[in-house]
Amino acid sequence: MGRWRGKWLLWALLAGLLLAAVWWWTRPPVVSVLRLHASTVQYSVVSTGRVAAQQESTLSSTVTGRVIATPVEEGASVRAGQVLLRLEPEELQALQTQAAAQLAAARANLQDAQRQWQRQQQLFAQGFVSQAALDSVRLSRDAASQSVAQLQALQRQYQARLGQSELRAPADGVLLRREVEAGDVLTAGKAALLFASAGRQRVLLDLDERDVGRLAVGQQAAVLADAFARQPLAARVSRVAAQVDQNSGTLEVELQLLQAAPFLKSGMTVSAEIRTGLAQQALLLPATAVRDGRVAVVQQGRVRWRPVRTAPAVAGQLPVESGLQPGELVVVPAPLLDDGQSVRVQP
């Protein structure tokens, strides 16, 4: 009797385990869900860029000469008209002196020719000289006058070239870079200095051409340099390039800072966010919740697949344009389950 009771208990235990295993394998799967609610969404374009001066210009000399002085260091602030570089002036000074001496002699010749002209006019009036003689003296006077004019122009030219032996700041600003040092020979037309005019800096961005339709002059932006992470700067879009770079597929966009930022240096890398639309309320979905344009929602303990339309991602979230309502439970991530399958919800 005891042996039969032991067998019965064993069979009962095995049956219980079998039922438990069947229940375990056939129970509805557990899914994680997200209850949808409206959030504030700010549509924007984020990119990195570089700081540029309000206006950068390359300064070069119109004369060839040896550099004798570079009185301003790179990165120094300068005033308009301040000398940035000097070339050796001796040759030009010698030419100017020679031209001055030639001019003095030409003026003396002109004075003598004018006296001769006046005297010959008197003699012609009295009938002592012919018309041909008078014309000859007049031609000599005109030639002397033309020589004076030519030498005056030459002297002005040498004076101008002597002034060009000094490169001066075209405006208040900063000397960014110097390409030559004292002792170098600077050829006319060769770049010598890179100069940045004073004023609020610009930020130049290279944005993907896919964002062209979202950009417009006047949009507000925020700029932040990694070196000054606690000093965000307000800016606005001041220019959108007229064409896309064919090699890189990017479009240059210029931001104008709305406040002075002397701590920013030309060429510094910054991050920028351009607000391309007004802030609005929207339902947000994790990207992992969407599969093939559909999401799985849980209704009365069952999965229901539903088509959904979303806007471009904002901070990694997909704004819902249609297909879902606030308060609905969306399975995240999208499950490998059939429509209508029972599930257990784990928030």
- 207 strand-pairing partners: 251
Is pLDDT at 254 greater than 80 in this prediction?
yes
* Whether residue 151 is found in the same domain as residue 98: yes
Phi, psi of 285 (to 5 degrees): -120, 140
- 214 DSSP assignment: G
In the chain, alpha helices (H):
2-26, 90-125, 131-163
Average pLDDT across the chain, whole number: 81
Is residue 12 one of the residues assigned to a domain? no
φ/ψ of 331, rounded to 5, equals: -75, 130
Number of domains in the chain: 4
Contact in structure between 201 and 53 (CB atoms under 8 Å): yes
Look at residue 5 and tell me if it is in a domain.
no
For range 103-119, the mean pLDDT: 79
- Cis amide leading into 326 (omega within 30): no
Residue 17 inside a domain? The answer is no
User: Residues 68-89: what's their mean pLDDT?
Assistant: 83
Ordered DSSP codes for 210-257: GGGGG--TT-EEEEEEGGGTT--EEEEEEEE-SS--TTT-EEEEEEEE
Task: Quote the percentage of the chain above a pLDDT of 70.
Answer: 86
User: How many Cβ atoms from other residues are within 10 Å of residue 197's Cβ?
Assistant: 16
Domain co-membership, 186 together with 303: no
Q: 290 vs 157, which has greater pLDDT?
A: 290
Mark whether 192 and 62 lie in a shared domain.
yes
Reported as a pLDDT band with limits 50, 70 and 90, residue 252 is: very high
Q: What CATH number has the domain bearing residue 83?
A: 2.40.50.100
Task: For residues 267 and 293, state if they share a domain.
Answer: no
- Judged against a pLDDT cut of 60, whether residue 1 lies above it is answered with no
- Choose one of 275, 307, 327: the last residue of a domain: 275
Model confidence over 270-319: pLDDT tens digits? Answer: 999 998 877 788 888 998 989 999 999 999 889 999 999 998 777 778 88
Domain that holds residue 131: 90-163
Task: Please report whether residue 184 resides in a domain.
Answer: yes
pLDDT, tens digit, 9 for 90 and up, residues 38-59: 888 777 888 899 988 777 778 8
Confidence band of 23 (pLDDT split at 50, 70, 90): very low
Average of per-residue pLDDT across 7-28: 59
Q: What is the pLDDT of residue 296?
A: 92
Provide mean pLDDT across the span 181-210: 84
